Amino acid sequence: MSVTAAQGFSAAGIAAGIKESGNPDLALVVNHGPRRAAAGVFTSNRVKAAPVLWSEQVLKGGEVTAVVLNSGGANACTGPKGFQDTHATAEKAAEVLTGHNAGEIAVASTGLIGTLLPMDKLLPGIETAAAALSEHGGEKAAIAIKTTDTVHKTAVAGGEGWTVGGMAKGAGMLAPGLATMLVVLTTDADVDAAGLDSALRAATRTTFDRVDSDGCMSTNDTVLLLASGASGITPEQGEFAEAVRAVCADLARQLIGDAEGASKDIRIEVVNAATEDDAVEVGRSIARNNLLKCAIHGEDPNWGRVLSAIGTTKAAFEPDQLNVAINDVWVCKNGGVGEDRDLVDMRYREVRITADLAAGTESAVIWANDLTADYVHENSAYSS
Amino acid sequence: MSVTAAQGFSAAGIAAGIKESGNPDLALVVNHGPRRAAAGVFTSNRVKAAPVLWSEQVLKGGEVTAVVLNSGGANACTGPKGFQDTHATAEKAAEVLTGHNAGEIAVASTGLIGTLLPMDKLLPGIETAAAALSEHGGEKAAIAIKTTDTVHKTAVAGGEGWTVGGMAKGAGMLAPGLATMLVVLTTDADVDAAGLDSALRAATRTTFDRVDSDGCMSTNDTVLLLASGASGITPEQGEFAEAVRAVCADLARQLIGDAEGASKDIRIEVVNAATEDDAVEVGRSIARNNLLKCAIHGEDPNWGRVLSAIGTTKAAFEPDQLNVAINDVWVCKNGGVGEDRDLVDMRYREVRITADLAAGTESAVIWANDLTADYVHENSAYSS
């Protein structure tokens, strides 16, 4: 599982002392080749963390030897000093791994925005992590990137003789514009950077990009895909892209399932839209409606709040042709009262909302969470 | 105070039995002239309630004799029957007031979306309300339109010999696209429909339109301004518009102060924006950030969440030139750490966030609320 499921990779996760709790907070993932191809997608937030600015530059070369990831601090809104710290992190990793330069080292950080990282702990931690590198270290790496995540998140897929594996963290500020929090995917398939980029962009567009737990886009979202080529196999591109998509979808589903304070996972499917963009706009509007999110928490099939959310969009539809189902009961038909709302059973964690725009043939699925008192408590504690 | 502060108006508020609680639920406001000019603005939600569709038509004539308002049901998403019910309400009021026709009667409703109104109670209630009409009935009318409001909301302003008064209700689904929940303003100034319309649109644009309590736009938002001309005075248009603006601003502030479950009122001022639209977009993005709203609830001056919200907008700014103050302490300077966050005192209900985009000279103020466990509780109860 995780980033060491594919051949040619080692990883480690250690406690460097960045977190005051003493929990693991530093992960290192190394690609031993023979190939070192890589692709990445990053947050579309215009306020980008230092490690995002750094890694975007690294990825332009299409080659990544190693990724250093830390929890316990986002290194965002930290000015020139924060960028210097990311640079020093990459330099240290290049030095420790020997024979490489900082320009091949991607860096990712997660935690509180607006504080500098304790470099006196992070830099020695890179040496400790390098010494702990193992072909079985994927699980420990996945644990070391957790912040408020209650569980670590890994996934794997693949084909004949090749594998795609990955890890993810993310539990809040979870409404990626291009990707979600920190994700590293690895493969031993022999695929070049262009093939990786194409597969990764296609995968994130319909997986991480359609997660909207709380409407808040992070400054640090990073998804990396590294290929070692160690299997010696070059899969057909469509088959490879599907494996990448499957791992992304699995990890995205795990992110929603572990969102801060959530008690429900809400699958919002918009059908019969005029365009896919319309379907996504409507799905996202429903996903971000706080009143609806409260109603779902209360197991109340309050379809009026779905319609009021749809009504704020520019999508093509006629109000008197809208249909809405909650857990397959069509509680709203033709914009008015439909089947008996008492038929809706909402006892389980997964809730399905279907919005039929009756305006075309396109569709999209957005995943969201409910809004709970636990979410408020977790996010109102002092700079959690 | 309220809608009977101006000469030429009477009002009533009674319990018609629409609410199961037996609380007041029906208000009637009558303009006795000599003038019956009127203007109105309505929700920009494309899913509009039956009374909004009706009143939009009535307002096209520029004359309104009376307004019937009910709480206890929004009459939204109720199909052709819901529209017939609104029509019947106007017909009944025209009949009871004698000498008028339904086309002069505006109707407004508020409450749960997706259920029909109990017309067997509402229609007799109009007779009861007409019998109770009084030149001192403004307060009772303001009470009868409450839903989850904990207090009724009225305001008054004016000039030499003329008055503008008003009432409002609204405590949730409070992010108007053009107006907020139900508001009726009256004046005895001798102003024609065009003058009313101009003053009302200018006023709502910078008052109700800049309230964003919970990001959820209602299907029923209605703001009406009625002029009786009973003072015989025609104020200078600028002076009149300023009085209308002052009453709207006063009522808008009261709405934020009484928002469901809120413990803080957040005044977000965006300054040095390239355009007013940029300032509003940034202010609204900050206002709708659930993580920031939780932080404010926890009295945590978490400026990183302000920056991450600004970063999602298309407004003109450079990330390393952003400055943010919370309660006048500039905790973020040039996109990084500024003054000591421990200097920020957040004990009081009103919290002021200033976002300096350093991109121009335009500004805007948006009012919002924090996100609390009480908001979740109030809105997760079964179809509250």
Please state which architecture CATH assigns to domain B265-380: Roll (3.10)
For residue B19, the model assigns a pLDDT of 94
Q: Over 80: is that where the pLDDT of A326 sits?
A: yes
- Lowest average pLDDT, out of A194-203, A294-303, B85-94, goes to A194-203
* B3 confidence band (pLDDT: 50, 70, 90): very high
CA dist., res. A251 & res. A223, Å (int): 11
Residue A361 · residue A271 · CB < 8 Å? no
Q: Are the CB atoms for A141 and A167 separated by under 8 Å?
A: yes
Residue A33 in contact with residue A64, Cβ under 8 Å? Answer: no
pLDDT score recorded for residue B175: 64
pLDDT at A176 over 80: no
pLDDT band at B212 (very low <50, low <70, confident <90, very high): confident
Contact B289 A215 (CB under 8 A): yes
Fold adopted by B2-257: L-amino peptidase D-ALA esterase/amidase (3.60.70)
What is residue A175's predicted lDDT score, i.e. its pLDDT? 64
The answer on pLDDT for B273 being more than 90 is yes
The residue whose two tokens read 């709040």 is: A305
pLDDT in tens, B37-52: 998 888 878 888 999 9
* Closest CB from A337, A373, A379 relative to B376: A373
> Is pLDDT at B370 greater than 60 in this prediction?
yes
pLDDT of B383 higher than 70: no
Contact A46 B311 (CB under 8 A): yes
Residue B255: per-residue pLDDT: 82
Q: Which of B42, B43, B47 to mutate to test the interface with A (most CBs of A within 10 A)?
A: B47
Distance from CA of A334 to the nearest CA of B (A): 8
Give which of B219, B221, B233 is closest to B182, Cα–Cα.
B221
pLDDT in tens, B237-265: 888 988 888 888 888 888 888 888 889 99
CA distance A350 to B109: 34
- Of B153, B383, B155, B328, nearest in space to B256 by CA: B153
Which of A53 and A219 is assigned the larger pLDDT? Answer: A53
Backbone angles phi, psi at A102, to 5 degrees: -60, -30
Beta strands (DSSP E) in A232-361 are: 265-273, 323-326, 329-333, 336-337, 350-356
Q: Which residues of A touch B336 (CB under 8 A)?
A: 77-79, 82, 114
The Cα A115–Cα B331 span in angstroms is 12
Given A86, A154, A180, A372, which residue is catalytic? A180
Q: By the CB < 8 Å criterion, does B320 face chain A?
A: yes
Q: How confident is the model at residue B177 (pLDDT cuts 50, 70, 90)?
A: low
Query: By C-alpha distance, which of A66, A67, A68, A72 is closest to A24?
Result: A72
Question: Is residue B294 over pLDDT 60?
Answer: yes
Q: In chain B, what residues touch A375 (CB-CB under 8 Å)?
A: 290, 294, 376
Residue B71: pLDDT band (50, 70, 90) is very high
pLDDT above 70: percentage of residues in chain A: 96
Q: Do A337 and B79 touch (CB under 8 A)?
A: yes
Taking residues A72-98, what's their average pLDDT?
Answer: 94
Least confident span in A247-251, A322-326, B122-126: A247-251
Q: What is the pLDDT of residue A333?
A: 93
CA distance A181 to chain B (A): 13
Residue B204: predicted pLDDT: 82
Q: Which residues of A touch B219 (CB under 8 A)?
A: 304, 307-308, 311
How many angstroms separate the CA of residue B293 from the nearest CA in chain A? 8
Q: Would an 8 Å CB–CB cutoff place A340 in contact with chain B? A: no
Query: Does B380 contact A300 at a Cβ distance shorter than 8 Å?
Result: yes
A357 touches chain B (CB under 8 A): no
Taking an 8 Å cut-off on Cβ atoms, the answer to whether A379 and B291 are in contact is yes
| Cross-chain residue pair B376–A379, CB shorter than 8 Å | no
- Is A180 among the catalytic positions? yes
3-state secondary structure of B329: strand
Distance CA(B299)–CA(B152), nearest Å, equals 28
* Cβ neighbours of B217 in A, within 8 Å: 308, 311-312
- A76 at the B interface (CB within 8 A)? yes
Of the residues B180, B186, B187, B204, which is catalytic?
Answer: B180
Mean pLDDT of B133-153: 91
- pLDDT greater than 90 at residue A124: yes
Decide: residue A342, CB within 10 A, 0-12 exposed, 13-18 middle, 19+ buried.
exposed
Q: Residue A384: its pLDDT value, please?
A: 44
- The boundaries of every CATH 3.10.20.340 domain in chain A are 265-380
Q: What mean pLDDT do residues B149-176 have?
A: 83
Query: What residues are paired with A326 via a beta bridge?
Result: A329, A353
At residue A383, the pLDDT reads: 54
Contact A45/B311, CB-based, under 8 Å?
Answer: yes
Strand blocks (E) in B110-250: 153-159, 162-169, 182-187, 211-212, 222-227
Taking an 8 Å cut-off on Cβ atoms, the answer to whether A291 and B334 are in contact is no
Average of per-residue pLDDT across A62-71:
94
Smallest Cβ–Cβ distance between A291 and the set B173, B298, B310 belongs to B173
Cβ(A168)–Cβ(A254) under 8 Å? yes
Spell out which residues of chain A touch residue B369, defining contact as CB-CB under 8 Å: none
With contacts defined as CB-CB under 8 Å, which chain B residues touch A337?
A: 77-79, 114-116
Q: Is the pLDDT of residue A315 over 70?
A: yes
The pLDDT of residue B384? 44
Which residue intervals of chain B bear CATH 3.60.70.12? 2-257
More confident residue, A44 or B21: B21
Chain-wide mean pLDDT for chain B?
A: 89
Calculate what percentage of chain B has a pLDDT beyond 70. Answer: 96
Nearest CB to B379 within list A115, A291, A336: A291
Amino acid at B211: V
